[in-house]
């Protein structure tokens, strides 16, 4: 079963490469043993740096189910998710992740996954990208207003 699902993810990766739509990565979202979303990297086609296979598959699965949580779903992806996709996996509350290639394999063909993992672990002021902070009061006021709204929808 797991192997068949991985074949679906890898074939999505191959399809994306064939179409020259982005990096060589594919993913599927599975619910009750059935693939409900299948996607590949479309960074180049969509001119969207966030259009990784996992993000695309999560968005497609949410559209298919009409909700923003996938707690009864599993993700199968041809490569270990980068930090962006890992964050998306947690926000989507996916139940499990199965991957094939690793972050070092991605680095081996020219992708920055391993480096971004290192950068994330650093405090903001120690990163390559310049991070600075301004007075948070007005932002905090909006956050508190949201928290006080009884009609708010937490996620």
Site for a copy of itself in 27-66 (CB under 8 A): 43-44, 46-50, 52, 55, 58-59, 62-63, 66
Distance CA(141)–CA(144), nearest Å, equals: 5
Q: Is 60 a catalytic residue?
A: no
Distance CA(19)–CA(10), nearest Å, equals: 14
Distance CA(24)–CA(2), nearest Å, equals: 20
Figure out which of the listed residues 14, 31, 35, 114 binds a copy of itself, where binding follows CB under 8 A: 14
Q: Does 121 bind a copy of itself (CB under 8 A)?
A: yes
Minimum separation from the CB atom of position 104 to a copy of itself (A): 11
Distance CA(96)–CA(12), nearest Å, equals: 19
Q: Which of 54, 60, 118, 137 is catalytic?
A: 54
Three-state DSSP state, 97: strand
Figure out which of the listed residues 30, 32, 96, 114 binds a copy of itself, where binding follows CB under 8 A: 96
Minimum separation from the CB atom of position 110 to a copy of itself (A): 6
Q: 34 or 119: whose CB is closer to a copy of itself? A: 119
Beta carbons within 10 angstroms of residue 17's beta carbon: 16
Figure out which of the listed residues 8, 35, 97, 114 binds a copy of itself, where binding follows CB under 8 A: 97
Minimum separation from the CB atom of position 34 to a copy of itself (A): 19
Give kind and range of the element (H or E) at residue 139.
helix 137-148
Contact 73, 53 (CB under 8 A): no
Residue numbers annotated as active site: 54
């Amino acid at each position: 079963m797991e192997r068949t699902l991985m074949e679906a993810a890898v074939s999505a990766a191959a399809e994306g490469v064939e179409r020259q739509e982005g990096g060589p990565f594919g993913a599927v979202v599975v619910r009750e043993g059935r693939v409900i979303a299948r996607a590949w990297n479309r960074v180049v086609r969509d001119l969207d740096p966030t259009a990784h296979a996992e993000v695309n598959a999560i968005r497609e699965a949410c559209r298919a189910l009409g909700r923003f949580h996938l707690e009864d779903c599993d993700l199968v992806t041809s490569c270990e998710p980068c930090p962006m996709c890992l964050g998306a996996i947690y926000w989507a509350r996916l139940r499990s992740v199965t991957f094939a290639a690793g972050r070092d394999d991605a680095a081996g063909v020219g992708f920055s996954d391993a480096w971004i993992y290192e950068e994330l672990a650093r405090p903001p002021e120690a990163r390559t990208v310049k991070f600075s902070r301004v007075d948070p009061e007005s932002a905090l006021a909006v956050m508190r207003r949201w928290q006080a709204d009884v009609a708010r929808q937490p996620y």
